Structure 1
């Protein structure tokens, strides 16, 4: 009987893990940092509205998922002939929130604190992350945004699909949902990329993200 229970638990954990992996978005193309796009002298500057801009995140482990948001600290988009040609953003890592459990649940505070600790993003030492645009391109009918993402003093270039609208002096940039591999930014806790004795206690390296930036002409 005990063996059957263990077997059932193992199968259930495997099914949850495989289902989570199947539902995850495609990983952003990730490579070494590149030269930042230069702002043209005639470019129009748009300042991010931080109260209307957000980064949605989701993390995965064999027993389920956690999700929440992160806010921008500030940001600028520069447009040339109505199209984005450069821009920079600071991400407020202290703003990490957890939305999959009530705030009065003691696990809410534990998870939020853990994400901010040196196990994960060490926000006391690294209160801001940064994203600097290196270019935009058209690939198979999609607009692809590339930029250098800096987390915990590690910088990589990532490319992911976005939609950009420009109406009446307001620009909205919205990404498709994509993932990044946290191990490439040395976020090591519970990662099988760094530890081989975790059993089923690991946390997936993939972090799912969706970015929305709203900016108005300065």
Structure 2
């Protein structure tokens, strides 16, 4: 009897320890979350939004350990323009010159490594796929309750987005568009 009580106690402790460190995936509330982009050119900048199609953050014991997102590239649009100018830029961004959304309607981000860097702060390494091309990215994310914010810089030329890039074209002068653009995510889960 004594031996079986010890065995049962050991089993309960192991089962509880295993249960308590299991990962918990929390879905992103896409209708309450926002992904903002900002691109820069010699003569200024443009900014806009892209809809998050789906996503989740994975936690173990309230610590971020992973995440994955799908972005609906067909929704990319400028928020700093109106009328015909907005329509022209939105159409150009969706064209093959930029993101080719007809052939590549989604982009993905999958966390590959997460490291705590302070209270509620993490350094993340991930794989970002745009236009069917996957490259590693590094960024920081902060978690507060059921909210998260992240910001990253993306080198568009690594994803075959070459339009207006001085890395590929000479004599662009004031028509040049910088290779890096910013993404800022405000997430609710």
Q: How does 1:180-199 map to 2 (within 5 A)?
A: 180-199=154-173
Matches within 5 A, 1:21-170: 42-102=22-82, 105-139=83-117, 142-166=121-145
State the secondary structure of the residue aligned to 1:163: strand
Which sections of structure 2, spanning at least 5 residues, go unmatched?
1-19
How far did 1:78 drift? 1.7
Between 1 and 2, higher relative CO (CA 8 Å, sep ≥ 6) is seen in 1
TM-score, normalization by structure 2: 0.83
User: Offset at 1:197?
Assistant: 3.0
Whether the 8 Å contact between 2:95 and 2:101 is mirrored in structure 1 is yes
- For 2:78 and 2:110, the matched residues in 1 are separated by 26
Return the TM-score normalized by structure 1: 0.72
**Is the counterpart of residue 174 in structure 1 residue 149 in structure 2?**
yes
Taking only aligned residues, the RMSD between alpha carbons, in angstroms, comes to 1.8
Runs of 4+ in 1 over 4 A off after TM superposition: 139-142
Could you list the runs of 5+ residues in structure 1 that have no partner in the other structure? Answer: 1-39
